[in-house]
Amino acid sequence: MSDDRLIVALDVPNVLAGMDLATKLGDAASFYKIGLGMLTGGGLALANELKSEHGKKIFLDMKFFDIGATVEAAVRGVAQFDLDLLTVHGDPHVVRAAREGAAGSNMKILAVTILTSLDRDDLDGSLIKAGSITDLVQERAGRAFDAGADGVIASPQEAALIRALPEAAGKLIVTPGVRPVGADLGDQKRVATPAQAIADGVDHIVVGRPIWKAADPRAAALAITAEMASPQAKSPNK
């Protein structure tokens, strides 16, 4: 019944609320994203419980960034838990270190290109080279793939451009900012529907509030799954 192209963001206040949501969703969801907010409140234990006792897949959204040796050690620590996806920043030295740390496990490394919360002024403030954000995102994605990333996190607007890169062949594109038709956008500004995202060559969509804030989260997840399976969601690129 579930479709693991849908990753449910468990951005709920604590581990109990996370398990409660997973219970409500049951077989309507098979893949969960656990981020830093949940991690510091016991999220790794929840990740392990969902994985080992409930057979769910887990995406740990840690966005690691540090010197190579520290990234490698941090990723090696996470790799012991047999989780499925892990994010690091897309700087080549970070990605290479993460690959080393993940060696021998099945965990895939996803690179963050440029945080979607940053605009050109922010990049200027951080002394990031000139150029449009779209061009920089494409360039950073290409470099992350060359450094060994299994995939990237990309906004819906960037997904098709990244999918068109030669380096992206066989790589994963995972996209937040997805909203079913008619859903509340929340603070997401540049959104796509599940069908559009899949048609743009996205492998997994990450959806949080439209599911966990819904009166009936299970029905919301099933509706998104149905939308991904619709003919409009056929990817021309894959």
- Give the catalytic positions in this structure: 63
Q: Looking at the DSSP assignment, which residues form a beta bridge with residue 57?
A: 31
Could you say which of 6, 8, 30, 35 contacts ligand C5P (CB under 6 A)? 35
Q: Looking at the DSSP assignment, which residues form a beta bridge with residue 165?
A: none
Question: Reduced to 3 states, what is the DSSP secondary structure of residue 173?
Answer: strand
Q: Is residue 148 within 8 Å of 189, Cβ to Cβ?
A: no
Sequence-separated (6 or more) residues with CB below 8 Å from residue 40: none
* Residue 208 CB, nearest approach to ligand C5P (Å): 3
Residues 97-116, one symbol each (x = binds ligand C5P by CB under 6 A, - = not), give: ------------------xx
Q: Does 177 bind ligand C5P (CB under 6 A)?
A: yes
Could you say which of 93, 108, 143, 209 contacts ligand C5P (CB under 6 A)? 209
Q: From 47, 39, 31, select the one nearest 82 (Cα to Cα).
A: 47
Q: Does 11 bind ligand C5P (CB under 6 A)?
A: yes
CB atoms within 10 A of CB 158: 24
Residue number closest to ligand C5P, CB atom: 208
Alpha-carbon radius of gyration of the chain = 17
Q: Does 203 bind ligand C5P (CB under 6 A)?
A: no
Q: Which is nearer to ligand C5P, 153 or 168 (CB)?
A: 153
How far apart CA 31 and CA 3 sit, in angstroms, is 8
Q: Does 18 bind ligand C5P (CB under 6 A)?
A: no
Sequence-separated (6 or more) residues with CB below 8 Å from residue 52: 82
Q: Which is nearer to ligand C5P, 61 or 72 (CB)?
A: 61
How far apart CA 193 and CA 232 sit, in angstroms, is 11
Q: Which is nearer to ligand C5P, 16 or 115 (CB)?
A: 115
The residue range among 95-103, 193-201, 206-214, 224-232 that interacts with ligand C5P, by the rule CB under 6 A, is 206-214
Residues at the site binding ligand C5P, with contacts judged by CB under 6 A: 9, 11, 35, 115-116, 153, 176-177, 186, 188, 206-209
